[in-house]
Chain A
Amino acid sequence: MEIDDIKKLALMARVDMDEKEMKEIGDSFGPILDYVGQIKEVADVSDSSYEEVADEPINILRDDVVTNKGGEYTDKILNQAPAKENGYLKVKQIL
């Protein structure tokens, strides 16, 4: 894959990397995409659905209610944050 395409992907994925690595990744994509591309040869089946499969997806719902006490985990979780202020996570200015 061309380095310009890798640059766009890195931008979308928000991963900073140097050109050397971009080239390496681009080169490795060739064999990987060739290999995974073989699924294109599988004939499409029109009735493909999960209905006959054992683990047919089912919706799991729960009531939309708070299940813990306010502030129960706040300190524990905020202690993991690199930057915080007055009980909030602190981020760089967005606008």
Chain B
Amino acid sequence: MNTKIDLKNLNIEKANKHLKDGDFTVRELVDAYLEVIKEKNTDLNAYLEIFDKDINSQVEIAEKMFEDGTATKMTGIPIAVKDNILIEGHIASASSKMLGNHTAVYDAFVIEKLKKEGSIFLGRTNMDEFAMGSSTETSAYGVTRNPYDRTRVPGGSSGGSAVAVAADMALVSLGTETCGSVRQPSSFCGLVGMKPTYGAISRSGIIAMGSSLDQVGPMGKSVSDVEILYNTISGKDPLDSTSLTDEFKSKFDKAPLKKKIGVPRDFLSGGGINEEVLKNFEESCEKLKKAGYEIVDVTSKTMQYSLAVYYIIMPAEVSSNLARYDGIRYGFNIDAPNLYDVYAQSKGKGFGKEVRRRLLLGTYILSHGYYDAYYNKALKVRDMIAKELLDIFSDVDAIISPTVPFTAFPLGDKMDDPMAMYMCDIFSAPANLAGIPAMSVPAGMSKEGLPMGLQITAPYLREDILFTIGKDFEKLV
């Protein structure tokens, strides 16, 4: 039966229609994905664990919803979930040894929402440890490989969630972003991936990294799939005070599109874009022109400082957020003779190298004497970036750029040079700092057969603009 399901060309709408029409059952759909997982996962290492124990009960719930007519678009849809999103009763390790034995005691808000729809969680996916990385190589559980070229990285930190969808091991997936961790692997793996407005989706039950930046992001093969998943998981949650109410959202007018898109040329010129990616980007601009969009240059004086600001604010927040992993309440523990050594040895042995680096960097940035020069200054520049973007958006509907300055790089290429790794996120940082939505859409393939992505950034709470432009662009690639 499974051979008849064309996973490659499947999307949520089609799957839903087939399930409703009885062309295949939820069981058959899930089995088709499990079969691909069995075949490919040992090599690609997208999933750290398949939820063998409760997939059956999840399938039963979904099938019952189809029988009694309560099924929705997301019912029975197989999803891959990043390992930093809590699902009650399952390990959530953030791909760290620190949380290798940590079983979630409650569901994340996004999981609760999807459970109500009867979606199927196939398993948890590999990621950079505590989401700190751009290649999924800092995971304590091995690297994940790019399905387009197995000697290359899938991007990160949500690399496992990207590969799961790109290699037909799930229909859609959930990732998280602090700075590019959904968009960058989506670009490297030929997917659509979105970082929504800060506050659009609750972070309750998401293992925190940089709390003023973190957001959950949907990933899929099409803009429509990402839109459906986004609509399902967004909403106000009393357990995350930064999540936005409908009343608040309604204050932002949904002005009709001017069909005018800005290109921040000066910002792009400092990004170290490789020639092929730049050429592809120019072609994308031409395609959008053909689709009726006016493409104009916009000037920015502050966007070029985004990544520098990010690498101050993020480690500062990391050093306080990760203080909770102390070997006392849960997670990895070393039984040392006194309390200080329990803390220090549990952290020293439980955290990997990049996490330890950022903990120390954050501690330095927040220390007396440097706090003003780095942290306070960064907050001010962050504010300036957000304001400048607001100005730019008074003239254009959206800003476009390549998602990443280059294509997927070879495994190990940047592991000894943290600064080179950090540069992956140069174009991602403005959206996270300003709290605005941005999405990566597939923009074509390089000569080496590697995917490239177009990043669209929209004003605050204007995800609708991303979907509109994304769908127009999708038709032309």
Contacts and interface: CB of A to CB of B under 8 A. Distances in A.
A32 to B, nearest CB: 6
B386 interface: yes
A60 interface: yes
B257 interface: no
B252 to A, nearest CB: 8
Nearest to A31: B419
A14 B326 contact: yes
Contacts of A94: 339
Contacts of B337: 92
Nearest to A55: B435
Most buried by A among B335, B342, B356, B435: B356
Interface string A35-67: 111111010110011101111000010100000
Interface stretch (B54-62, B164-172, B176-184, B374-382): B374-382
A28 B102 CA distance: 31
B199 A13 contact: no
A79 to B, nearest CB: 8
B419 A16 contact: no
Size bracket of the A interface: 35 or more
A77 B105 contact: yes
Contacts, number: 153
Contact of B339 (A21, A48, A92): A92
B391 to A, nearest CB: 10
A81 B380 CA distance: 40
Interface string A69-95: 000010011011111000001011110
A91 B348 contact: no
B359 A13 contact: yes
Interface residues of B, number: 72
Interface stretch (B32-40, B150-158, B216-224, B361-369): B361-369
B31 to A, nearest CB: 32
B308 A10 contact: no
A35 B361 contact: no
Q: What is the interface of chain B mostly: helix, strand, loop, or mixed? A: helix
Interface string B234-252: 0000100110000000001
A19 to B, nearest CB: 13
B357 interface: yes
A35 B459 contact: no
B328 A82 contact: yes
B360 A16 contact: no
Contacts of B347: 13-16
Contacts of B436: 54
B440 to A, nearest CB: 22
B300 interface: no
Contacts of B387: 52-53
Interface string B421-450: 010000000000011100000000000000
B103 interface: yes
A53 B383 contact: yes
B289 interface: no
B306 to A, nearest CB: 10
A15 B326 CA distance: 10
Given A12-B363, A16-B348, A39 B339 contact: no
A31 B342 CA distance: 32
Most buried by B among A12, A53, A91, A93: A53
A76 to B, nearest CB: 4
B139 interface: no
Minimum-distance CB pairs A-B, first 8: A16-B348, A80-B330, A60-B241, A82-B333, A54-B460, A16-B344, A92-B339, A76-B105
Given A5-B364, A32-B418, 4 more contacts: A14-B323, A15-B351, A54-B252, A94-B339
